Chain A
Amino acid sequence: DGGITQSPKYLFRKEGQNVTLSCEQNLNHDAMYWYRQDPGQGLRLIYYSQIVNDFQKGDIAEGYSVSREKKESFPLTVTSAQKNPTAFYLCASTRERNTGELFFGEGSRLTVL
């Protein structure tokens, strides 16, 4: 079955450590996105990528980094520079650019101890 796989589902990190969240899709979608979800809040865009080897900052990119070396993969690194990293992170992709119609993974919950 086609879909988006995020891993790990739960992750604990000590302050000062970088952590990388994996996102893999087998939908053959060109565009991929990372969102952050906080309790009682909507989703906020961190980074997005429309094609391989290209990505753009979203609304809250500070303290995060991404890469897009393969069409299927769009990993997110939460760096120690991110002041408040505890959150639920959602990866998404879209089959058509510029439509707003996204397919989401099941998310990764990061907790900083």
Chain B
Amino acid sequence: GNSVTQMEGPVTLSEEAFLTINCTYTATGYPSLFWYVQYPGEGLQLLLKATKADDKGSNKGFEATYRKETTSFHLEKGSVQVSDSAVYFCALYYGNNRLAFGKGNQVVVIP
């Protein structure tokens, strides 16, 4: 089936630290991959996307590369800020209006 797996547990780090959130996927065919972000008390916002292998999505200092050989789409940011504290969801689109979401990772950035 089509599914997304995110690393377990919240991520707590200090301001200006390097952030990585792992995401791996299982899919038939060649899905599009996304990272969505949910700030406290809000809905989700699209952060970045990649539609084919080796594409790199980037936005607001975040990056993720679509790696077909490792079926991964890890999210990275070189220097986080307190304002990056949010829940981050990895997702894949596999057609017919279907998105499979990961469980999300809470990121807490401490000043």
Contacts and interface: CB of A to CB of B under 8 A. Distances in A.
Interface size class of A (residues with CB under 8 A): 20 to 34
Nearest to B101: A42
Q: Chain B at the A interface: mostly helix, strand, loop or mixed?
A: strand
A103 B45 CA distance: 7
Interface string B48-82: 01000000000000000000000000000000000
Interface size class of B (residues with CB under 8 A): 20 to 34
Contact of B97 (A4, A33, A41): A33
Interface string B12-37: 00000000000000000000101010
Interface string A40-73: 1111110010100000100000000000000000
A102 B44 contact: yes
A98 B99 CA distance: 10
A100 B100 CA distance: 10
Counting from the closest, the 6 A-B pairs by CB-CB distance are A100-B93, A42-B101, A104-B43, A43-B101, A104-B44, A106-B43
